[in-house]
Amino acid sequence: MEIIDKALEFEQRRHTFKTTSERIESSREVKSLILGLNDIYKEKKDPEIMDLMKRLTVIKQKIEKRLKGRP
Residuewise pLDDT in 10s, the chain (71 residues): 688 889 889 888 887 778 888 888 989 999 999 999 999 999 999 899 999 999 999 999 988 888 887 65
- Tell me what pLDDT residue 67 has: 85
Beta strands in 1-71 (DSSP E): none
Domain count, the chain: 1
Nearest CA to 33 out of 1, 70, 62, 65 is that of 1
49, 40 contact by CB (below 8 A): yes
Non-local CB neighbours of 49 within 8 Å, separated by 6+ positions: 4, 37, 40, 41
Q: Which domain holds residue 53?
A: 1-12+19-68
Amino acid (1-letter code) at residue 62: K
- Tell me what pLDDT residue 63 has: 87
- Tell me what pLDDT residue 57 has: 94
Helix (H/G/I), strand (E/B), else coil: 24: helix
- Tell me what pLDDT residue 71 has: 55
